[in-house]
Structure 1
Amino acid sequence: MKRFFKNIGPGTLVAAAFIGPGTVTVCTLAGVKFGFTLLWAMVLSIVATIVLQEMAARLGIVYGKGLAATVKSEIKNPIVRSLAILLILTAILIGNAAYEAGNISGGVLGLGSILDSYYVSISGLELNALSLLIGVIAFVVLYFGNYKMIERFLIALVLLMSVSFLITAVLTRPDISEVIKRLFVPTFPEESWLTIIALVGTTVVPYNLFLHASLVREKWESTTHLKAARMDTYVSILLGGLVSLSIIVCAAAVPTSDISNAADLAIALEPLYGDYAVYLLSIGLFAAGITSAITAPLAAAYVARECFGWEANLRSVKFRAVWIVILLLGVIFSSLSFSPIEVIRVAQVANGLLLPIIAGFLLWIVNRKNVLGSFVNSKFQNILGVIILLASVFLGIMSLIKVYNSL
């Protein structure tokens, strides 16, 4: 057991990243609108996440480089290489700034259920004090912590988040046989298609592929640890998926459909299950927001480091400058007059547009023998990868359609 916990790490950070406010919000809406009927879509999302994250982890351990650095070294044409790096860098930095605003906004929703919000003025800019609080916590952890400290902090928050949502799900006393049935029997209720896409899009997060490939090198040093890395990936993502399923189960118990986010869900559950539901869900949403608020800037900094060839040091000035900018943008945009749910939705759209590009790069790299040697994808892994890639392209198209229709 001691050895098992010793090998848990990077995968948990990935789970911490994808169980953010966007996931919590989408799962809440799925449960409120469609009950247990979309549980199967979350199961498929978990499988897709495991497939892609295993590829990313394998790349990091076998080749010793992250995804961005590998793409940079493998594209020989200087013009194409520059365009690819510019595309990755721009996509991740802009995408993660949007994610960060959604992450902090989600954490604010959680705290806002049990604390009053007020604004403070800094150089004429009105900032939500709760956004500042989350930003300060994320800053302290990233600035003063080394990899092990960040890892342990996020593992603790993931466990807190998991326990909060799991207990709340148990309190709702769901029909277990119905839950099990809906986990494995796909159904498509009327007007559910976009929600299904959102469940996939909010779980398979593009920046996690960069983050995971980089983090495994902080934890392990050779291919002898590949088995441990895979186990870490499987266990952590399954745990994260269990949290998502629990949120859907919680939301399905609400007797009204007038719910727009997890904070509303907490209030709606209060008459049925008492104050405990409010506090448990609020704590869970806060933990979801702050874990993602830490991992999104960290992922952006890793990508920038690989693209520009900076030294491998989490405390270098350049590395810190990147995550500080992303964190600061998140605090500012989450404090503006935008609805938190709208901010989260923008982040989901960014996710849908980025995923096909990043998944395509990853699938290309893990099939190159000069990179992975005997550890390249098997035929079965390629079949799964192509299916996921095609699904992500469809997701990106639907995201664009959704944005166009909302204009």
Structure 2
Amino acid sequence: MAGHLASAALSPIVPEGESTWTYWYYAVALFGAAMTPYEVFFFSSGAVEEKWSPKDVVQSRINVLAGFPLGGLLSRSIAACAAVVLLPRQIGVEPLSQVVLPVAEAAGRIGLVVVLVGILAATFGAALETTLSSGYTLAQYFGWSWGKYRRPVDAARFHVAMVATLLAGLGILATGVDPVLVTELSVVFSAVALPLTYIPILVVANDPEYMGAAVNGRFLNALGTFYLGVILLAAFAAIPFMIVTGAGA
């Protein structure tokens, strides 16, 4: 079974009834999910609040280099479990709750509880990140006092913005809209907006007056420019792919 999964991953075949454009659409969506603009505001603002030093940047790089491969491995594991357990039974994964079905069959109730706790932690953490990022973004744009360590009375508009963002998210869910569809659309538009956050960072990284000795060198600029090309390609392709494929339908 493992050999068959590896062979299918290395030599993918587009099933009948589906188009290659659909797979490109989801490739762009996954790319947008890997580096969403809100994370730029969240981590940069958090770095200011936590008073990061060069040592913290090293730790952050280690987290990225370890976290991204681990996240990719776990994502592929989920897809593999779904292919082995759900696909033979003609079960299509629609809501998030169906993702845990392979774990429930393989590990029983204990494994199911562990996965549910993990999903709760992941979704709760993501909600906190986006809430804080929204507060950071609005407060910094309008020049408000901001900071999670500031009391609400000292940064009232910052805290109100976070509460309003959280309530808006709950209101969207209360309409009964499919949260998975909302997530898919949001990450696609994240890919569209990504150049607006990446290009300023690349410009600042090349400013010797701001960066000092940490300014980008030729090698980092080469990597940054290459990645900028990938970002621009994904940004320009996202909307056409969404229209052509009917949002991956």
TM-score w.r.t. length of structure 1:
0.50
CA contact (8 A) 1:356 1:396 kept: yes
Task: Specify the alignment match of 2:168 in structure 1.
Answer: 329
Letter in 2 for 1:231: Q
CA contact (8 A) 1:266 1:277 kept: no
CA contact (8 A) 1:262 1:281 kept: no
Alignment partner of 2:34: what SS? coil
Alignment partner of 1:202: what SS? helix
Letter in 1 for 2:80: A
Letter in 1 for 2:43: H
Letter in 2 for 1:309: G
CA contact (8 A) 1:211 1:299 kept: yes
Are residue 349 (structure 1) and residue 188 (structure 2) matched?
yes
Residues 232 and 280 (structure 1), Cα distance of their counterparts in 2 relative to 1, 3 Å cut: same
CA contact (8 A) 2:28 2:191 kept: no
Cα distance in structure 2, aligned partners of 1:220 and 1:187: 47
Superimposed CA distance per residue, residues 299-344 of structure 1 (whole angstroms, 9 cap, x where no aligned partner): 1211222222223443310111211111111110012121121111
Task: Specify the alignment match of 2:110 in structure 1.
Answer: 276
Are residue 369 (structure 1) and residue 200 (structure 2) matched?
no
What is the aligned counterpart of 2:219 among 380, 390, 405?
380
TM-score w.r.t. length of structure 2:
0.79
Residues 233 and 218 (structure 1), Cα distance of their counterparts in 2 relative to 1, 3 Å cut: farther
Alignment partner of 1:274: what SS? helix
Alignment partner of 1:377: what SS? coil
Structure 2 unmatched ranges of 5 or more = 15-19
CA RMSD of aligned residues (A): 2.8
CA contact (8 A) 2:206 2:216 kept: yes
Are residue 231 (structure 1) and residue 59 (structure 2) matched?
yes
Cα distance in structure 2, aligned partners of 1:233 and 1:336: 39
Alignment partner of 1:253: what SS? helix
Letter in 2 for 1:282: L
Residues 363 and 280 (structure 1), Cα distance of their counterparts in 2 relative to 1, 3 Å cut: same
Letter in 2 for 1:346: L
CA contact (8 A) 1:216 1:229 kept: no
Cα distance in structure 2, aligned partners of 1:187 and 1:391: 23
Task: Specify the alignment match of 2:178 in structure 1.
Answer: 339
Task: Specify the alignment match of 1:136 in structure 2.
Answer: none
What is the aligned counterpart of 1:248 among 76, 81, 98?
76
Superimposed CA distance per residue, residues 222-252 of structure 1 (whole angstroms, 9 cap, x where no aligned partner): xxx2033222342256235413421321330
Residues 328 and 252 (structure 1), Cα distance of their counterparts in 2 relative to 1, 3 Å cut: same
Alignment partner of 1:337: what SS? coil
Task: Specify the alignment match of 2:157 in structure 1.
Answer: 318
CA contact (8 A) 1:197 1:395 kept: yes
Paired residues, number: 227
Cα distance in structure 2, aligned partners of 1:287 and 1:237: 22
Identity %: 19
Task: Specify the alignment match of 2:36 in structure 1.
Answer: 205
Residues 188 and 175 (structure 1), Cα distance of their counterparts in 2 relative to 1, 3 Å cut: closer
Residues 187 and 372 (structure 1), Cα distance of their counterparts in 2 relative to 1, 3 Å cut: farther
Cα distance in structure 2, aligned partners of 1:216 and 1:341: 30
Letter in 2 for 1:303: T
- Alignment of structure 1 residues 95-110 onto 2, 5 Å: none
Residues 260 and 382 (structure 1), Cα distance of their counterparts in 2 relative to 1, 3 Å cut: farther
Task: Specify the alignment match of 1:193 in structure 2.
Answer: 24
> Larger relative CO (CA 8 A, sep 6+): 1 or 2?
1
CA contact (8 A) 1:251 1:265 kept: no
Superimposed CA distance per residue, residues 10-59 of structure 1 (whole angstroms, 9 cap, x where no aligned partner): xxxxxxxxxxxxxxxxxxxxxxxxxxxxxxxxxxxxxxxxxxxxxxxxxx
Task: Specify the alignment match of 1:32 in structure 2.
Answer: none
Residues 233 and 322 (structure 1), Cα distance of their counterparts in 2 relative to 1, 3 Å cut: farther
Residues 241 and 300 (structure 1), Cα distance of their counterparts in 2 relative to 1, 3 Å cut: farther
Letter in 1 for 2:33: T
Letter in 1 for 2:107: Y
CA contact (8 A) 2:25 2:242 kept: no
Cα distance in structure 1, aligned partners of 2:45 and 2:183: 26
